[in-house]
Structure formats: C-alpha cells, structure tokens
Amino acid sequence: MIYLIAIILIIVMIYGPQFWSKYILAKYSRAEYFSGNGLELARILADRLALSDIRVEETELGDHYDPVEKAVRLSREHCGRRSLTAVVVAAHELGHALQDRENYQPLHLRTRWVMAAYRAERIGAALMIALPLITAMTRIPAAGLMMFLAGLASLGIPVLIHLLTLPVEWDASFNRALPILASGEYIPEEDLPAARRILTACALTYVAGALASLLNLWRWLRVLRR
C-alpha cells in the first residue's frame, strides 16, 4: 500500500504540473489580446530594450532563447496569436536575452552543460548497459567501478542541467519578464495576476522535469544494485 501511494505521489508530482501548465496556457490563449502577435511583441521589446543584435524567429522546436545564435525563437502554437499567453511567453524569452546581455552566469553555465549533455547522456547509458559485460571480460573489479562511476556521472548531467535551469527560468520570468509587463505599456494592471499564473505554470514544468531526471537516475541505480 505504501509503495502504491508513493507511485501515485510521484506521478502527480511529475505529470500534474505539466497538465496544469497546458491548461493555464490554453486558457489564456483563446481571446485576442495584443494588437499584434507574440513575434511582433518580441521584436518591439527587443528594440525598446536595446537588444538590436537579437534575432526574433518562428520555430517548430518550442519557445526558447538560443544564447549561441543570439535568437529568440517562438512557436506558432503559443506566440503566433494575439493572446495574453503570447505576450507573456514572448516577454519571458526576452528575459533570457536580457540575462545574456548582462552576463548572467547561471544562463551561460547551463548553456555549456546543455551542449555536452546529449552526447554524455548517451555515452553514460551505453556504459552502464555494458558494465556487467566489460567487468566479466576483463575480470578486473576496478574496471567495473570506473565504468560505473563514468556512467553515473554521465546520467547525472541531465539532473544538474534541470537544477541549473530552475533559477535561470525563475529569474527570466519574475525578475525580468514580469517587471516589463508590469510597466503598464503592454498589459493592464488587472491582468498581472493572470500573467503571474502563466509564468508560474511554465516554471512548474521545469520542476517536473527535474523530478523526472532524478527519478530516471534513481531507476538506473536500482537496476545496478540487483
């Protein structure tokens, strides 16, 4: 019974924020709100915030800021519309551009880790799968220990990235995007609580991602202990 409750709690903690985030984003995506769409607002903000070197583009890969290419990329699903969600998400991504301009170190640290994460995660998974075979062939216990540590470190990288992502996203949302929106030029004061809900919903998806990464690491450790 205890294990069943634990499993239910884990599912709720990981998937609950994702469902709530989708609900909130969809709720404030329905009505037309801004005189232009999210892409147009992002371009206006880039000009007014003296981010003339930042490109604003549409993408199929989801809303994000690319600090390497210096580009704010917004999805058609969320930011091709004239909605409150479009306005808030565009401001959030411009918040990342402000972080980059101000040399916000957690953003640069996350970028370096992300660039290495995909390759390292695949290598780590391969090493951990091959661990028993390599140990049996070499018959050297130290080789198995070294492979285990290498694989564990590689699988731990996504966990570190998610932990780094949380303060980066929080800062972009509540220390940068929300003050811009609260300036009175883009949304009226009565819509600020809704904007805060949208930003909170987005932040919770990253919390869920961090929990999922921790769960994946824990699962691998349990497999290797058998």
- The DSSP bridge partners found for residue 64 are 73
Q: Is 77 designated active site?
A: no
Q: Which helix (H) or strand (E) holds 165?
A: helix 141-170
**Rounded Cα distance, 41 and 49, in Å:** 12
Q: How far apart, in whole angstroms, are the C-alpha atoms of residue 214 and residue 174? A: 25
Residue among 40, 93, 102, 185 flagged as catalytic: 93
Helix (H, G, I), strand (E, B) or coil at 112: helix
Stretch (H or E) spanning 22: helix 2-27
Contacts of residue 13, defined as CB under 8 A and 6 or more positions apart, other chains included, come to: 208, 211
State the sign of the Cα–Cα–Cα–Cα dihedral 108, 77, 159, 143. Answer: negative
Active-site positions read 93
